[in-house]
Amino acid sequence: MKLEDLRIIISGGAQGMGRHFALSLASAGAQVAIGDVNEAGLTETVEAAAGKRGKVHARKLDVADEADVGAFVEWAHGQMGGLNALINNAGILRDGLLVKKDRETGAVKTLTKAQWDAVIGVNLTGATLLARDTVAKMVSTNQRPGVVVNISSIARHGNRGQSNYTAAKAALAANTTTWAKEFAPFGIRVAAVAPGMIETPMTQGMNQKARDALVAAIPVGRIGLPEDIWVAVRFCLECDYFNGRTIDVDGGLSM
């Protein structure tokens, strides 16, 4: 699909990779609807898009809220005069070992259900709801072709301290293949990009020691940038023969 023809939803568009995707698409002439719980960040993204060929529309969105997702999709369709693409980008971290023992006290601590539920709710359930409702809108309006790009992670292969995040991102990569098969009769492709360590507000909030260790392990010798991921996302959007697969963009990092 041509970027200038896109009428695309991006979740998590208030900052980081989501903002970068939105501004890149607007520069190419696309109509973009961004959603996020960070309303101030949404406003900043819209302001940054002023004067570009395309336009960025923004509205608060909690992807873990089913009713909010449905309302957002309807709003986005109306604002853009159509809907033919989605980037499932929203995500959060609530890291912790599933079970750990305090070295000093010997006390056993576990990952809380709240930590598990929060990550699964946003990173997996939210992404699934948004894909479901976006594709349903495309089908009901006879829109074809269409494309969905899921943002997974190389953590899907397994990463210490991220049982919840790993489970969500692994499921999203697996469902990229599932949904590609299910949506094929409607002319809708599904692809995924799995970033490694990328410079975003999320990774900037990591424990510094853990962050430094990860960056040191990247064979290309640097942390990734949102533009590195955009190159892969753009390929997924534009290449009509790419479907049901996940691209790792990680600088060669193995977790």
Catalytic residues, by residue number, are: 165
178, 182, 185, 190 alpha-carbon torsion, rounded to 10°: -40
Place of tokens 């409702």: 133
User: Which residues neighbour 230 within 8 Å (Cβ) at sequence distance 6 or greater?
Assistant: 17, 20, 21, 24
Which run of H or E residues covers position 119? helix 113-119
Please tell me the distance from the alpha carbon of residue 225 to that of residue 84, in angstroms, as a whole number.
27
Structure tokens at 105: 């006290």
Check if the beta carbon of residue 163 is closer than 8 Å to that of residue 111. yes
One-letter amino acid for residue 209 of the chain: K
SS3 127: helix
SS3 9: strand
Place of tokens 């909030």: 205
Half-sphere exposure of 157 (CA within 13 A, CB side): 11
Task: State how far the alpha carbon of 71 is from the alpha carbons of 63, 143, 246, in Å.
Answer: 11, 19, 29
